[in-house]
Amino acid sequence: MVDPWFTVQELDSETFAISEYGHWENVHSFLLLGETRAALIDTGLGIDSIKRITDQLTDLPIIVLTTHVHADHIGGHGDFDKIYVHGDDADWLINGIKGLSLEQIRKEMARDITIPVPESFDPITYKPFQGYPDKLLTDGETIDLGNRSLGIYHTPGPSPGHISILDNETGYLFTGDLLYSDTPVYAFYPSTSPEDLVHSLEKIAKLQEVSKIYGGHNKLGLEPRILEEVLEAIQYLRDNNLVRHGTGVHTFKSFSVQF
């Protein structure tokens, strides 16, 4: 599929990555097809309409699973009818994102774009989606897509209601802003929690049957052996009293964090 803004990559015949490589954040959203419905994990930046892509990939009804309420992951929420979010991020979705001003969000959205944007995108008037969710997700629940089930794990740190999602059939683990490579995992904003982030990393690192890790940014697809490194990094951070705001960037072999 050729598109002027989105890059679509088939992870398998029923799973697609929808990426925005023309923006400095290299954001990924993911479309998972079941037998009766599909799940769209995040909706990207909102610079262009991700629904144009999902309409070409499936006729199934789509539910949006929000890993967390940051502007670069909820940009296309307004194009879909069914939006799910963890209860601890519901207030941000309804009343606005905490921790970043609208001016700062617009600045971050508009910078370092390397390909033409659609005429409909104006960074001066850009505003993150706000609206009411159709369902509040909870830790440990399962979302059934029809012969495909997704496990929901509450993994706060980047936001209070951040979740990670495990595809129980394929072993794919979708980690949003909790774990990715190439640039630091951010937990230095006042609205983030280094302590929660480390606890959440420990939680996913102990999950069984993970075959591949798909973060919300940068390199598409990390090998599960990174989870062993995550456990070692957590021990190092705790032993050296580094799990707190202001300690800076901590770089390990395959990933880094910034507190």
Q: Domain residues of the chain, as ranges?
A: 7-181+208-224
Is 129's pLDDT higher than 90?
Answer: yes
Among 230, 170, 172, residue whose Cα is nearest residue 205: 230
Tokens 């398998």 belong to residue: 12
Q: What is the structure's pLDDT at 1?
A: 84
What pTM was estimated for this model as a whole?
0.96
Between the alpha carbon of residue 5 and those of residues 22, 25, 28, 110, the distances in Å are: 7, 14, 12, 14
CA distance 181 to 215: 8
CA distance 231 to 220: 21
CA distance 146 to 217: 28
Q: What is the structure's pLDDT at 117?
A: 95
Query: pLDDT tens for residues 160-191?
Result: 999 999 999 999 999 999 999 999 999 998 88
Name the CATH superfamily housing domain 7-181+208-224: Ribonuclease Z/Hydroxyacylglutathione hydrolase-like (3.60.15.10)
Query: pLDDT tens for residues 29-48?
Result: 999 999 999 999 999 999 99
| Confidence bin at 90 (pLDDT 50/70/90) | very high
Quick count: other Cβ atoms within 10 Å of Cβ 166?
A: 22
What is the percent of the chain where pLDDT is above 90?
96
| Confidence bin at 60 (pLDDT 50/70/90) | very high
Q: Over the chain, what is the mean pLDDT?
A: 96
